[in-house]
């Protein structure tokens, strides 16, 4: 399918990177990132992908330039 090109709102790349590194080592969830996720936001607002369904991620983001 490919990248849908959605991002994390209101966070710098450094902030996202710090959250990922801290969560990876502490075992916490990525709720702070999911709260700012553009794809989740447009789905909640009913603006796109209303029928799209996925499980809550339990792993760190995998894109090489997090």
pLDDT one-digit tens code per residue, 9-54: 999 989 888 888 887 666 567 888 889 999 999 999 999 998 888 8
Inside any domain, residue 11: yes
Domain limits at 54? 1-59
Residue 33 placed within a domain:
yes
- The count of domains in the chain is 1
Whether residue 41 is contained in a domain is answered as: yes
Domain membership flag for residue 30: yes
Pairwise pLDDT comparison (2 vs 66), residue with the higher score: 2
Nearest 5°: the CA angle 40, 43, 49 is 120
**Structural domain contains residue 66:** no
Question: Buried (b) or exposed (e) across 9-42, using 16+ Cβ within 10 A?
Answer: eebeeeebeebeeebeeeeeebeebeebbebbee
Please give the pLDDT value at position 2: 67
Q: What is the pTM of this model?
A: 0.70
């Amino acid at each position: 399918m490919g990248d849908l090109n959605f991002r994390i709102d209101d966070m710098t790349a450094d902030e996202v990177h710090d959250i990922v590194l801290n969560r990876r080592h502490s075992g916490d969830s990525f709720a702070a990132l999911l709260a700012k996720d553009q794809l989740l936001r447009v789905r909640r607002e009913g603006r796109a992908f209303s029928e799209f369904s996925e499980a809550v991620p339990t792993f760190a983001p995998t894109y090489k330039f997090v």
